[in-house]
Amino acid sequence: MTISPTPRSRALLSGTAALLLLLGGCARQAADAVSSAPDTPGFLLGLWHGFIFPVAWILSLFLDNVAIYAVPNSGGWYDFGYFLGIVVFGVG
């Protein structure tokens, strides 16, 4: 005996899949946002930026020259440091 999905569950599944595909199309890092220059922020600055994220976010609401994420950065290592800074050392 097989259980067939109802039309409502099919529509919900299709809508969820479409939404995930739509949002997945936005999850791209621009090629000019990753740099290999020696002075590009890397893991340690990512760690620091993640740690100070709560304060930087509040300041960024009122000041135009404060950013919560460095662009361009070194890519994956900066992101990993940023993640650790937020989760482990920051607001985690």
DSSP letter for each residue of 2-25: --PPPHHHHHHHHHHHHHHHHHHT
Q: Is 2 within a domain?
A: no
- Please tell me the distance from the alpha carbon of residue 40 to that of residue 19, in angstroms, as a whole number: 34
Tell me the pLDDT tens digit for each residue of 4-56.
Answer: 778 888 899 999 999 988 887 776 656 666 667 778 888 999 999 999 999 99
Q: Is 35 within a domain?
A: yes
- Residue 58 is predicted with a pLDDT of 93
Residue type (1 letter), 7: P
How many structural domains comprise the chain?
1
**Residue 36 structural domain:** 7-89
Is it the case that residue 61 has pLDDT exceeding 90?
Answer: yes
Q: Is 33 within a domain?
A: yes
pTM over 0.85: no
